[in-house]
């Protein structure tokens, strides 16, 4: 006769195995995505940008972000590419994107006491912090950058 308990237990084990395999594949895919999409600046790029700011007199926009941060990814896709935002930053600022997960730039996020992501910090040309904000839409970012 058919043993329902053994069959049900076997199906349960199969489901657990399939879910575990799926999660493993997802994690592998995310790790490859993250390593391939490390658009954050290096420590040298950060230092070079501060030097450029001192030479040009332009302030700096520091954007602290991470690949795993949903609001960061929303801003990356919807806010930063906006033509008005691009034009304003190109004309008025130097911009540096800092990936908080990169060991090489962790000291920068520590230096600025970044606790929430994304964090946008405006530095004057001398490297002094003038203001900071977090998640914003296009209109809010434009107002923030223009104030």
Buried b / exposed e along 130-144 (16+ C-beta atoms within 10 A): eebeebbebeebbee
> 49 near 55, Cβ under 8 Å?
no
Q: How many domains does the chain have?
A: 2
60 and 13 together in one domain: no
Domain span at 74: 43-146
| 71 in the same domain as 20 | no
Residue 18: band (very low, low, confident or very high) from pLDDT cuts 50, 70, 90? low
CATH number of the domain enclosing 142:
3.40.30.10
Pair 26, 52 in one domain: no
Is residue 65 domain-shared with residue 97, that is, in the same domain?
yes
- Tokens representing 136? 């914003």
pLDDT at 14 over 80: no
82-129 confidence digits (pLDDT tens)? 999 999 999 999 999 999 999 999 999 999 999 999 999 999 999 999
User: Are 67 and 32 found together in one domain?
Assistant: no
Which tens digits make up the pLDDT trace of 42-80?
Answer: 889 999 999 999 999 999 999 999 999 999 999 999 999
Mean pLDDT, rounded, for 4-25? 57
């Amino acid at each position: 006769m058919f043993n329902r308990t053994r069959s049900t237990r076997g199906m349960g084990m199969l489901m657990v195995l399939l879910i575990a395999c799926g999660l493993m594949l997802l994690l592998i895919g995310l790790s490859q995505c993250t390593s391939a999409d490390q658009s954050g600046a290096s420590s040298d790029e950060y230092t070079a940008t501060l030097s450029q700011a001192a030479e040009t007199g332009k302030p700096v926009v520091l954007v602290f972000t991470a690949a795993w941060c949903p609001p960061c990814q929303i801003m990356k896709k919807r806010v930063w590419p906006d033509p008005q935002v691009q034009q304003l930053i190109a004309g008025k600022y130097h911009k540096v994107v800092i990936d908080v997960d990169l060991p090489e730039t962790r000291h920068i996020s520590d230096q600025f006491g970044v606790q929430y992501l994304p964090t946008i910090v405006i530095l004057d040309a001398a490297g002094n912090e003038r203001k900071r904000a977090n998640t914003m839409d296009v209109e809010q970012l434009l107002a923030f950058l223009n104030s």
